[in-house]
Amino acid sequence: MPISDDQIKRILQQQQEQLDAQMRLLETLTQQLNIHCSSSHTISSTSCDAVASSIPEFIYDPESGSTFLTWFKPWEDTLRTGFCNQDDAWKTRLLVRKLGSNEHAHYTGHILPKLPRELSFEETVTQLSEIFGESSSLFSIRYQCLNLVKREADEYGVLADIVNRECEQLKLRSLTEDQFKCLIFIKALQSPQDAEIRTRLLTRLDQDPNVTLRTLTDDCKRLQNIKHDNELIEQANPNLTCSSVNAITRLKVQKRITTRKKPTTACWLCGEWHYVRFCPFKKHKCQVCNKPSRLIFTQSACSKAIVH
């Protein structure tokens, strides 16, 4: 049975209506999807701001153990991976913004002529770790850890926390057997007679952290032999120091005498060019009248004075 033109028009009209309905449905779904994405982004931004505001300000206090690494470690995962939707520059700005006023001034002055925004996040972490790191040497940290004593007011749990923190600072995982032996060896040198040797060994340990106990022992013997040889030289010349000092003193006295200033006028007693206080004729007496007189006044002058 053939289809009439009216039937074809109705079929086409129904298909057009179905297509329009599908398009309206597609537009509605697209709008809802955009609204959901926008809402998710808003929630994510709000969450980032809330987490960022919960990060405390960093204040550098090495005496109480407040260094950059101790502050950064609890928030490291958050700063590195928690803000995955944020770029590297955003995380760098957040890190610098968390510095205290003094710490921020120190950091910005240290990296000059560069600006904080010119460094990446990893570079900023490296710089801050170097600037605000431990002020004590590794030996000092390990020494203090070995001398920990429980205070009467501390509970056992508090003591365990202190031990845990101090052991982390002394880098227990990287402490070798030789380093621990050297630490105990130097710690045992507490006599005042070993002060010089102890200083030399600490310098050696600071320059070479991988030094062995055998090397420190050889250094002690070498320094002891040098000290013994020096004492032998001093005993062979016991008066060397005293005679040298006396010779230097005599030279200074002679120099002071020879470099004495000349007077501006001649001596009024004898007419020579020296000061009156050094004149050998200060007690000169006239042979005529037997009275103290100047040497430049002759005997005839004295007689004339008597005649007149």
- What are the pLDDT digits (tens) for 217-273? 888 888 888 888 888 887 776 555 555 556 556 666 565 555 556 777 877 777 787
Residue 259 domain flag: no
Residue 133 has, within 13 A of its CA and on its CB side, a CA count of 12
Residue 112 domain flag: yes
Statement to judge: residues 94 and 129 lie in one domain: yes
Residue 93 domain flag: yes
Statement to judge: residues 43 and 99 lie in one domain: yes
Statement to judge: residues 59 and 97 lie in one domain: yes
Token pair, residue 175, equals 């402490």
Say if CB 170 and CB 162 are below 8 A apart: no
pLDDT at 247: 58
Residue 208 domain flag: yes
State the residue range of the domain holding 167. 138-175
Statement to judge: residues 85 and 108 lie in one domain: yes
pLDDT at 3: 63
Q: Which pTM value belongs to this model?
A: 0.42
Q: Does 1 score more than 60 pLDDT?
A: no
What does the CA dihedral 23, 25, 27, 29 come to, rounded to 10 degrees?
-150
Residue 257 domain flag: no
Average pLDDT, the chain: 76
Q: What is the mean pLDDT of residues 139-162?
A: 78
Q: Does 295 score more than 70 pLDDT?
A: no
User: Residue for token digits 């509605």?
Assistant: 28
Statement to judge: residues 115 and 42 lie in one domain: yes
Statement to judge: residues 183 and 98 lie in one domain: no
**Which range is most confident: 1-15, 92-106, 265-279, 293-307?**
92-106
Q: Out of 45-49, 66-70, 100-104, 173-177, pick the least confident.
A: 45-49
Among 135, 156, 185, identify where a domain stops: 135
Residue 274 domain flag: no
- Could you tell me which residue, 299 or 222, shows the higher pLDDT? 222
Statement to judge: residues 61 and 118 lie in one domain: yes
* Residue range 28-85, pLDDT digits in tens: 777 766 655 444 443 355 667 777 778 888 888 877 778 888 888 888 888 887 777 7
Statement to judge: residues 40 and 119 lie in one domain: yes
- Could you tell me which residue, 121 or 299, shows the higher pLDDT? 121
DSSP the chain: -PPPHHHHHHHHHHHHHHHHHHHHHHHHHHHHHHHHHHHHHHHHHHHHHHHHHHSPPB--BGGGTB-HHHHHGGGHHIIIIITTTS-HHHHHHHHHHTB-HHHHHHHHHHSTTS-GGGS-HHHHHHHHHHHTS-SS-HHHHHHHHHT----TT--HHHHHHHHHHHHHHTTGGG--HHHHHHHHHHHT--SGGGHHHHHHHHHHHHH-TT--HHHHHHHHHHHHHHHHHHHHHHHH-TTHHHHHHHHHHHHHHHHHHHTPPPPSS--TTT--SS-GGG-TTTT-B-TTT-SB--TTS-HHHHHHHHH-
Q: How confident is the model at residue 156 (pLDDT cuts 50, 70, 90)?
A: confident
- Could you tell me which residue, 41 or 198, shows the higher pLDDT? 198
Residue 160 domain flag: yes
pLDDT at 260: 55
Among 236, 252, 268, identify where a domain stops: 236
Give the contacts of 173 (CB within 8 A, at least 6 positions apart). none
Q: How confident is the model at residue 292 (pLDDT cuts 50, 70, 90)?
A: low
How many structural domains are present in the chain?
4
Residue 15 domain flag: no
Q: Does 209 score more than 70 pLDDT?
A: yes
pLDDT at 237: 64
Statement to judge: residues 147 and 186 lie in one domain: no
Statement to judge: residues 113 and 191 lie in one domain: no
Statement to judge: residues 192 and 170 lie in one domain: no
Among 135, 165, 197, identify where a domain stops: 135
Q: What is the mean pLDDT of residues 6-11?
A: 72
Phi-psi region of 282 (alpha: psi -120 to 50; beta: other; left: phi over 0): alpha
Statement to judge: residues 302 and 221 lie in one domain: no
pLDDT at 35: 53
Q: How confident is the model at residue 308 (pLDDT cuts 50, 70, 90)?
A: very low
